[in-house]
Amino acid sequence: MITRLTIDKVYETARVEEVIGDFVVLKKSGTNFKGLSPFSQEKTPSFMVSPVKQIWKDFSSGKGGNVVAFLMEHEHFSYPEAIRYLAQKYNIEIEETEQTDLEKEKANSRESLYLVNQFAQQQFAKDLVSTDEGKALGLSYFKERGFTAETISFFGLGYALEKKDNFYDTAIKAGYSLKYLEETGLVIQNEYGNVDRFRGRIIFPIRSMAGRVQGFGGRTLTSSSKTAKYLNSPESDIYHKSQVLYGIYEAKKEIVKEDICYLVEGYTDVIQMYQKGIHNVVSSSGTALTHEQIRLLRRLTSNVVVLFDGDAAGLRAAIRGIDLILEQGMNVKICTFPEGEDPDSFAKHNSLEELQSYLQENAKDFIQFKTDLLLKDTQNDPVQKATTVREIVQSIAKIPDVIQQEIYLKQCALMMGLSEEVLFNALAQEISKKKTAIRQLIPTLETKPQVQKSLPTDRQENPMLLLERQIVGILLQYGNVEAFFDEVYIHFDGEGNLIEESKTIQTKVYEKVFLDLQQDEVELIQPEFQKLYQQLIHTYQTEGIIKPEKIIQQEDPQLGQIITDILLEDEQHYLHQWEKKNIYVKDRKSVVGQLVSETILTFRRYLIDQKINSILELIQQKPEESTQDEWLEEVMQYQSLKKVLSRKLNRVL
């Protein structure tokens, strides 16, 4: 178990904007940073990071918290995994107490899968350079491709020995469970026993954006038609092929820096270009592009250049990928290489300057590329040319930006020798088809079930919970502020008449809230609010001030979520730049006294309502009781109190 001292040191050292900046493109926005949500598909930034408060908030999904919470949400780390990741990032030595057998048994299964993959990567890398078979087959292959020892080590390349159960035996002897060896796909159970999946193959580790090994790609070195050339890890809890890009961990910083990404097909394409000096390059691992892969890139840049060799199959694949990229609102270009060349071979035989120059001169925007490609087949056939035009217009229709649509249509009209009016009409037809298809998926108003005018009582929002959240929010944001409060003292004289006295006092907000709730002898209902309330009051009473970067260090993600929501709710309008629309948000700190008074008065009013209802229920349950008159008199007194509070709140009963 990681010691509290290490956890505190991690929190003190880690910077939320630096950590999140490894995964999301952040831009300065006042004292904060903003960016596109990494948890939902969007084109307008709704993701905010506060360096001052060391928290983040995603307004599109509602998620938020501290730096650890981000890693738990985005990378699906457990709490210890997130702490370990940050400790490694900031070179903090981890101190641990010895785990019990029970604690070891409860180890997170996802972490076990990652640990097995990490061990496998290290073993394959070791076998590549330390065994005769690895050096003769695997290492010689990599050297033939021109990979240096530094490149091989950087990408963690390896070799799996030919013996059918070599890795299985090694892993079992090292103490790894067969269960996780099978779940990661490293070992397969069949009629021959426990067999290594990747035996006799060179190995390409596939890392997540955080750098953890999710799976492997293995290439056979034999030419047998019965053996698949490439073999990937099977789907598992930590590896989903459609959601990963090979090289994303190594390329992410350069992609953000250059604001452009080169997308290739294979592992060796990535490695060769990286070795040559083009570091902002990733691969779809030889499969067709998916929405998830494109969204992964969209978090880092809006600009993509797709690199393909000149064969027809590759070019057709490029066309399909273009439309998916366009749908995400990204700018896409295509670059093809001379016949017989691919990114790997071209990078290997040319200098960095020649490679950069070629990419710059030969990258075409998708209209030019698609037009050149499709028109090769049409020649002078008007029917085929019309079909080609429709295909291009269909691609343009996928672009969400109407200005870009118009620019591309004009460019297409010029290249195809057509009038702009004809193309705009064709675009309108495509958009109309799309809307019709969407409408068909949505039930008509007549078929929709009628919405109930009122929800059942147990489903309605409890006003008390909203008030409790408000009280916690006031303490969190303004607890140390000194303000003036209009105190209302209410009591009954000997004849039962209500006496009301007013007095203005000056005190700190947390003292006002604490004394009022103590006087009313009430506790907050919601356990999370109650726990936070006690934490905040204790901190104010012992330290006199709340430090957001300290209070956000909650091991319970739900508490961290509540704190983040409260701390950043007043800053949401900055994302939408309301002030440019002449909408100005009033600073709540300037009216904190009024805010506190109204909250406490409203809270008391609901407490009185609850008390009245409980007495009325008691009267109904025991109609014969002789104390009914006393109960009714008590109800009347509470009603009088309620009128006073309502008047103070300027409400009408």
DSSP one-letter code for 578: G
Q: Which residue has the tokens 């995994």?
A: 81
Q: Which of 105-119, 208-222, 361-375 has the highest mean predicted lDDT (pLDDT)? A: 208-222
Give all strands (DSSP E) within 381-525, no chain letters: 482-492, 498-508
148 and 218 in a single domain? The answer is yes
Candidates 433, 422, 368, 361; CA nearest to 398 is 433
pLDDT at residue number 458: 40
CATH number at residue 10: 3.90.580.10
How far apart, in whole angstroms, are the C-alpha atoms of residue 555 and residue 4? 11
Range from 404-408, 434-438, 474-478, 601-605 carrying the lowest mean pLDDT: 434-438
Quick one: 265 and 284 in the same domain? yes
174, 268: one domain: no
Query: Which residues fall within 8 angstroms of residue 286, CB to CB, at 6 or more apart?
Result: 230, 265, 266
Confidence (pLDDT) at 456? 38
Rounded mean pLDDT of the chain? 80
Rounded Cα gap, residues 237 and 239, in angstroms: 6
Is the domain of 386 the same as that of 520? Answer: no
Each residue's pLDDT tens digit, 299-317: 888 899 999 876 655 566 5
Overall average pLDDT of the 414-441 stretch: 72
448: phi then psi, degrees, rounded to nearest 5: -75, 140
> Within this chain, do residues 301 and 200 fall inside the same structural domain, yes or no?
no
pLDDT of residue 124 exceeding 90 = yes
44 and 85 in a common domain: yes
Residue 445 counted as domain residue? no
Domain count, the chain: 4
- More confident call, 4 vs 108: 4
pLDDT of 437 reads: 47
Looking at mean pLDDT, say which of 299-313, 415-429, 446-460, 547-561 comes out highest: 415-429
- Residue 210 pLDDT exceeds 70: yes
Give the structural domain span for 611: 460-566+586-648
Domain boundary pick from 385, 410, 439 = 439
pTM of the model: 0.63
CA–CA gap between residue 481 and residue 512 (Å, rounded) = 11
Residue 455 inside a domain? The answer is no
Q: What is the DSSP letter of 452?
A: P
CATH of the domain at 330: 3.40.1360.10
Residues 409 and 278 placed together within one structural domain of the fold: yes
Condensed to tens digits (0 to 9), the pLDDT of residues 218-253 reads 999 987 767 788 899 999 988 998 889 999 999 988
Residue 175: give its domain's CATH number: 3.90.980.10
Q: How many CA atoms lie within 13 A of 10 on its CB side?
A: 25
| 58-72, 75-89, 499-513: the lowest-pLDDT one | 499-513
Which has the higher per-residue pLDDT, 109 or 442? 109
Neighbours of 593 (CB within 10 A): 21
User: 239, 271, 306: which is the final residue of a domain?
Assistant: 239
Question: Would you say residue 586 has pLDDT above 90?
Answer: no
Is residue 99 assigned to a domain? no
- Pair 562, 483 in one domain: yes
pLDDT band of residue 573 (cuts 50, 70, 90) is: low
Least confident of 13-17, 325-329, 539-543, 616-620: 616-620
| Residue reference for tokens 């103070």 | 648
pLDDT-derived band at 404 (thresholds 50, 70, 90) equals confident
Q: What is the pLDDT of residue 499?
A: 67
Percent of the chain with pLDDT over 90: 28
Indicate if 361 and 306 belong to the same structural domain: yes
One domain, residues 71 and 202? no
- Give 149: exposed, middle or buried? Use CB within 10 Å, 0-12, 13-18, 19+: exposed
550 vs 57 pLDDT, higher one: 57
**Which is more confidently placed, 371 or 9?**
9
- For residues 598-619, one letter each, b for 16 or more C-beta atoms within 10 angstroms of the residue's C-beta and e for the rest, the string is ebbbbbbbbbbeeebeebeeee
Distances (CA, A) of 257 to 90, 272, 301, 359: 21, 20, 9, 18
Q: Within this chain, do residues 263 and 187 fall inside the same structural domain, yes or no?
A: no
Name the phi and psi angles at 250, rounded to 5.
-70, -25
The pLDDT of residue 653: 40
Q: Which of 622, 619, 613, 620 is nearest to 642 (CA)?
A: 613
Alpha-carbon gap, residue 126 to 159, rounded angstroms? 8
Residue 204 pairs in a beta bridge with 217
CA distance 476 to 472: 6
* CA gap 134, 221 in Å, rounded: 12
Give the pLDDT score at 460.
42
Q: Which amino acid is residue 492, in one-letter code?
A: F
With a cut of 50, say whether residue 176 has pLDDT above it.
Answer: yes
Mean pLDDT, residues 440-444: 41
Which of 44-48, 139-143, 598-602 has the largest mean confidence?
A: 139-143
Band of the pLDDT at 279, cuts 50, 70, 90?
A: very high
Residue 118 shares a structural domain with residue 262? no
Confidence at 275, pLDDT banded by 50, 70, 90: very high
How distant, in Å, are the alpha carbons of 10, 95, 193 from that of 250?
A: 24, 29, 37
For residue 573, being part of any structural domain is answered with no
For the chain, the 3-state helix, strand and coil shares in percent, each to the nearest 5, are 55, 15, 30
pLDDT at 446 over 60: no
Distance CA 276, CA 64 (A): 40
Residue 440 binned pLDDT confidence (cut-offs 50, 70, 90): very low
Domain boundary among 239, 256, 275: 239
The answer to whether residue 203 sits within a structural domain is yes
101 in any annotated domain:
no
* Per-residue pLDDT, 314: 55
CA neighbor of 287 nearest in space, from 267, 311, 303, 301 = 267
Mention every residue, 6+ apart, whose C-beta is less than 8 A from residue 246: 204, 206, 217, 267, 270, 282, 283, 284, 285
* 653 within a domain of the structure (yes/no): no
Inform me whether the pLDDT recorded for 451 exceeds 50.
Answer: no
Lowest-confidence region among 100-104, 170-174, 290-294: 100-104
Helix axes 463-478, 557-568, angle to 10 degrees: 70
Is residue 368, in this structure, part of any structural domain at all?
A: yes
Distances (CA, A) of 401 to 40, 139, 367: 19, 49, 15
**For residue 455, what pLDDT band results from cuts at 50, 70 and 90?**
very low
pLDDT band at 403 (very low <50, low <70, confident <90, very high): confident
- In this predicted structure, the answer to whether residue 12 has a pLDDT above a threshold of 60 is yes
Separation of alpha carbons 300 and 254, rounded Å: 10
Q: Point out which residues pair with 160 in neighbouring strands.
A: 201
User: Which segment of 38-52, 120-134, 340-354, 460-474 scores lowest on mean pLDDT?
Assistant: 460-474
Q: For the residues of 157-184, what is the DSSP string, one character each? A: -EEE-SSTTHHHHHHHHTT--HHHHHHT
> pLDDT confidence of 584, banded at 50, 70, 90?
very low
